[in-house]
A = this chain, B = another copy of it.
Amino acid sequence: MNAHNDILKKSGLSVTESRKKILELFFDSDGALAHADIEKNTDAAFDRVTVYRTLQTFVEKGIIHQIPTTDNSILYALCKHNCQQGHHHDNHVHFICNKCDKTFCLDDVTVPEVKLPQGFSPAQAAMVVTGLCEECKL
């Protein structure tokens, strides 16, 4: 009985091969993952549809969160802080490297509050910074 299984159980999910493997992938990766990355890293052991559904489920259960991008893809990353079902707290800044295209969750950098114009009622804020990462800057 390992920690990953516990996460699944706590979320009320059945413990299956695909879920275990995909969750493991997220823990092994330091950055964020796109659907395509997951298919690649599982050697297509699971159906494309299963991957889609697993990701959806994980988002719903607050295990992972989505990261907005401008390139018509969705990136997913582990929710490291206390996310609950239906209520995410992924209020950290994301960094995407222009050179290696890796995405980093800057867990220690929180998204700053901004004052919105009259009438706008905020629920969630996301921030994505692009540039060069440590590796690529050298």
Contact = CB atoms under 8 A, between A and B. Distances in A.
Interface of A: 66-74, 93, 95, 98, 104, 106, 108-109, 111-112, 114-134, 137
A109 to B, nearest CB: 6
25 contacts: A66-B70, A68-B69, A68-B126, A68-B128, A72-B74, A93-B114, A106-B120, A111-B114, A112-B112, A112-B114, A114-B127, A116-B129, A119-B133, A119-B134, A119-B137, A120-B131, A120-B134, A121-B131, A122-B130, A125-B128, A125-B130, A126-B127, A126-B129, A126-B130, A127-B127
A132 B124 CA distance: 10
A60 to B, nearest CB: 14
A78 to B, nearest CB: 16
Contact of A131 (B67, B108, B122, B131): B122
Contact of A98 (B117, B123, B131): B123
A116 B109 contact: yes
A124 B133 contact: no
B131 A124 contact: yes
Contacts of A111: 114, 127
Contacts of A68: 68-70, 126, 128
A122 B67 CA distance: 17
Nearest to A65: B70
